[in-house]
Amino acid sequence: MERIELCGALHARVDGWRAAGERLALVPTMGNLHEGHLTLVREARAHAERVVATIFVNPLQFGPGEDLGAYPRTLEEDERLLAREGYDLLFAPAIDALYPRGQEDQTRVEVPRLSDILCGASRPGHFVGVATVVCKLLNMVRPDVAVFGEKDFQQLLVIRRMVEDLAIPVEILGAPTVREPDGLAMSSRNGYLSSQERRRAPALYRALTLAGDALREGGAVDEVEGAASAVLREAGLRPDYVSVRRASDLGPVAPGDCDLVVLAAAHLGRARLIDNLRVLRCSKG
């Protein structure tokens, strides 16, 4: 296990593994690791002989006034946690290693439509930053598989579409959301919550669960969304959106669609929390 910060050293190491015929898995993160991240590493290990984890707080995906400066950076602790999981390589580059000409002159990758809705509407340019950095990391590591968490469901679909459209030869795997005992999805930004806010936060998953139950019972989409938003407001959260979409492409639900996803984002104190819930129902049209 080793930590590398330079792109040239990364290329040399992964080229050696590839020449030896070993399968590679990539787990991109922004650090401040928790159990959710570690499950991604375990999933990656199940699919490859070599696991490359990356830690990079990507400035390109943060908008004006967002928490780039405050985002927790805990590299030494992250490395200790990864060591318990038996990763092979940690790539932790400086900003100028990935963006040597600066961010303004960086070629960018945009996935149309998927990037402009839901979180993309609330955070313009966010998914351009995500797609750009993930594309760079995939090209640098050239893994056989890359693992992402399903908590960021829209991000997962953006990356899958990018890989398909750009013909990048990698399999994108989604790992189930890891939750606290009270249902709150694990997230690095949960650390922003005060003790009082933390007690309110599980309302997000509760709202999703109620929405899922209502959909399975035949509830109308707009009524389900409205009821879930009300649950959030009653708990003291400020909804950004609650939206029921087709799970395959986040399109509007049409008669006959059975595989749905309820996605939600809400503000609570300094934190913006996101979560989602897959729902299987047979629409009666």
Q: Which residues are catalytic?
A: 37
Contact criterion met (CB below 8 Å) for 276 and 150: yes
3-state secondary structure of 65: coil
Q: How many CB atoms lie within 10 A of CB 46?
A: 11
CA distance 191 to 211: 26
Q: How many CB atoms lie within 10 A of CB 253?
A: 19
Token readout for 62 is 């943060």
Of 80, 14, 84, 83, the closest CA to residue 49 belongs to 14
Of 169, 187, 167, 188, the closest CA to residue 178 belongs to 187
Q: What angle do CA 247, 251, 252 make, to 5 degrees?
A: 105
CA distance 163 to 152: 17
